[in-house]
Structure 1
Amino acid sequence: MPSRHNKTYRFDWHAGCRFSLLIDGQRFFPVMLDAIEQAKTFVLLELYLVESGHVTRRFIDALVAARQRDVTVYLLLDDYGSQGLALLDRERLLAQGVQLRFYNPLNYRQFYRSLRRDHRKLLLIDNRIAFTGGAGLSDAFEPPFNPEGAWHEVMLQIEGPVVTDWMRQFCTTWQSSSGNSPELPASQEQYFTPGQPGRVVLSAGLSRQEIKRAFITRMRNAGQRIWLTTPYFIPARKVRRVLTQRARAGVDTRLLLPGPISDHPWVSHAARGFYHRLLRNGVRIFEYQPRFVHAKIGLCDNWCTIGSSNLDRWNQRWNLDANQEVDATDFSSDVAQLFETDFAQSIEITLSHWRKRSTMQRLREWLAARLVMLIELVIRGYRK
């Protein structure tokens, strides 16, 4: 059943799908590698963050082995996000016949154009199974010598007719980046009975805002809960307004955000500048303590969105992102259990506690917020 184009969303909802949560690198990387080892016709891989190391070497080995079985491999990497991929690894992939392309090569003479990045994360095999979420190929997600320090991340395993939409998304981005369409064999769509409904939603800078639009719509209609986790909480004014409105209306509204561990501490400081108004209006805020939380999940009643989008202003203005929506009670129960586990490992920030924070902390928040504003002003001025 092919998806039809409509004005608001590129892809439609599909019934008959199956979705599975894979929590943390020691769980999802082996499953993804096994899927590559089972590939018979093609492998599509689209990523933002790729850094040479233990994890990336295992994936390169799997892709090379697939090529030796005569499996077609297309690898689309963001040029900025893959700066850490060593030349020897690039040469090995090309030597084995992997179709390797880099999205929007950096050109500092065209600064404004270079801000547009491919932030999507996708592994797709034989139009049979796909994976999306927030992970890249980096030892940060599964450090070989420090497993307790791995970033807390979630990937989603996807089966059913929505896999075809993920394939179409990849082919469109590949063609815009390389000028050629991938040559992929036709394959049969799979349906599951009973199945779970799902839809692929996309963002492409200011020209396409499906992820934000869908999330705001679901928040406005939520009657029981709105739970959101994101590593970089610099939300648009409209998102903040809906969060506070629903919290005041009695909806259980919670944010799960990074605590003391972050790869960009200044972003966390800037995010804390939004805490006071949110807390004052009844939004509950939890800061995750054990590790850096890098997952990107939104849960509104029984609807869930998982993917690459941080729902921050930078993502929405510049990046290509893609999320998987799921609207199913059984799946939302799994997501809610993940949230409950993470809330239990977090410190809840209360309004009374927040008002007592130190002068130094307030100064860090003020400076970080001004830095965010300065970056946005510089970029807007450059564009003019």
Structure 2
Amino acid sequence: MRQRFEWRGGNRVSLMVDGECFFPQMLEAIEQAHSSLRLEFYMVSSGKILDRFIQALTDAVLRGVDVRLLIDGFGGRHLARADRERLRAGGVQLVLYNPLQLSKWTRNFARDHRKLLLVDEHKAFIGGAGLADEYWLSQRTGCPWHEIMCEVQGPVVEDLACLYNRLWLRCSGQALSPPSAQPEVGDARMRVTTVQGLYQQDIKVAFLNQVNGARHRVWLETAYFLPSLSIRTALRRAARRGVDVRMIVAGPYTDQFWVYHASKRYYRRLLNAGVRIYEYQPRFLHAKVGLVDDWVSLGSCNLDHWNLRWNLEANIEVENPELTAQVEQLINVDMEQCHEVTAEEWSRRPWYRKAKELVWALLSQLVLKIR
């Protein structure tokens, strides 16, 4: 069943940049929960961050809080068996989305890529982070990953709860009580948008509509730059009619090196159309945020071929001057830490780089043909 949500007024939203900011606030919210906690995360890996979440969640159970955790079957592959047992022994109801099985063949590609925390159904955290040390404590090259989350309150939280409840029912067979209506607490207009594989692509449609109607700017940060033809065409057209189009993409640090190389096949035509492309240098850029004029979209979706083909995704669209200003400042700061790729520079790159990009681009196209 298709599930679409309408714009809602009366919300409050705040932007949190990087794990040292959003993890403490998420943990504090869990510690203050008194009735229910609903968590849905793609990447969940054993480590120091997860230890803190396990402790906070099991403590909440002892206070009488109903705690439920949805983890993707692939994204949770680094969750140690001992930690799964700690969660279950502590009273956390743990469910896996689409556990990996050889007999499923290509159905194993379908993943739950959403990142969501609901606290007592009156506060939500949504963005692109996982419960993993890579977002804060890892000492690996390119870490900590650069990521954002948002804290949300108001009527839109009811829609996020509905989204969670529907997937919980699908995965566990257990129906949860319908969420209660939330009072207006601010002045932000917001809407929940989703992707459900090829079945429903509201995030992509909303972004295209905004880009096609853009008057001043289209600024996009994305970790994996493999945009669809319709998105590439819309970006080029916007740049040609004088819109300030800028793309901030992952630079030398990435967890998917093949995407880094395959994405380069799209640079030439975008650069020639006037699109400005920036590669983030200090660490892995994992954030996903779009700013079109004063409209903001952020969440879990990278707008790449793979996300739009196989994944469950969740974003929020926001119309709010304060958040727009925060996102504008974030992107401006990030651009200062980027290398801008120019059309002249791109035309002079050596042949072996072109060959590598071609090979990975062809392989990526083959993967997308899998049924």
Q: In the alignment, which of 341, 346, 357 is matched to residue 338 of structure 2?
A: 346
Taking structure 1 as reference, are residues 262 and 116 closer, same or farther at Cα in structure 2, changes over 3 Å only? Answer: same
Question: Pairwise CA RMSD of aligned residues?
Answer: 1.5
Task: Report Cα offsets for 1:200-233 as digits up to 9, x if no partner.
Answer: 0011011111100000001111100000111101
1:319-334 maps to which residues of 2 (within 5 A)?
A: 319-334=311-326
Q: In the alignment, which of 282, 287, 299 is matched to residue 295 of structure 1?
A: 287
Matched, 1:136 2:134: no
Q: Distance in 1 between matches of 2:226 and 2:294?
A: 25
Task: Report Cα offsets for 1:279-319 as digits up to 9, x if no partner.
Answer: 00000000011010000001100101000101011111110
Aligned to 1:119: 113
Q: In the alignment, which of 309, 317, 329 is matched to residue 309 of structure 2?
A: 317
Aligned to 2:299: 307
Q: In the alignment, which of 224, 248, 252 is matched to residue 256 of structure 1?
A: 248
What one-letter code is carried by the residue in structure 2 that aligns with 1:25?
G
Task: Report Cα offsets for 1:122-154 as digits up to 9, x if no partner.
Answer: 001001110111100111101255798300000
Aligned to 1:108: 102
Checking the alignment, whether the CA contact within 8 Å between 2:127 and 2:315 is kept in structure 1 is yes
Matched, 1:44 2:44: no
Checking the alignment, whether the CA contact within 8 Å between 2:114 and 2:314 is kept in structure 1 is yes
Task: Report Cα offsets for 1:333-370 as digits up to 9, x if no partner.
Answer: 11011000000110110000111112221121111101
1:1-384 maps to which residues of 2 (within 5 A)?
A: 10-143=4-137, 145=139, 149-183=143-177, 187=180, 189-193=182-186, 195-377=187-369, 379=370, 383=371
TM-score (norm 1): 0.94
What one-letter code is carried by the residue in structure 1 that aligns with 2:137?
P
The answer for unaligned runs of 5 or more in structure 2 is: none
Q: Distance in 2 between matches of 1:190 and 1:35?
A: 19
Taking structure 1 as reference, are residues 115 and 145 closer, same or farther at Cα in structure 2, changes over 3 Å only? Answer: closer
Task: Report Cα offsets for 1:166-196 as digits up to 9, x if no partner.
Answer: 0000000111111111247x64513124x11
The answer for unaligned runs of 5 or more in structure 1 is: none
Checking the alignment, whether the CA contact within 8 Å between 1:54 and 1:144 is kept in structure 2 is no
Q: Distance in 2 between matches of 1:333 and 1:164?
A: 26
TM-score (norm 2): 0.97
Identity %: 45
Aligned length: 371
> After TM superposition, what 4+ stretches of structure 1 lie above 3 angstroms from structure 2?
144-148
Q: Distance in 1 between matches of 2:203 and 2:142?
A: 32
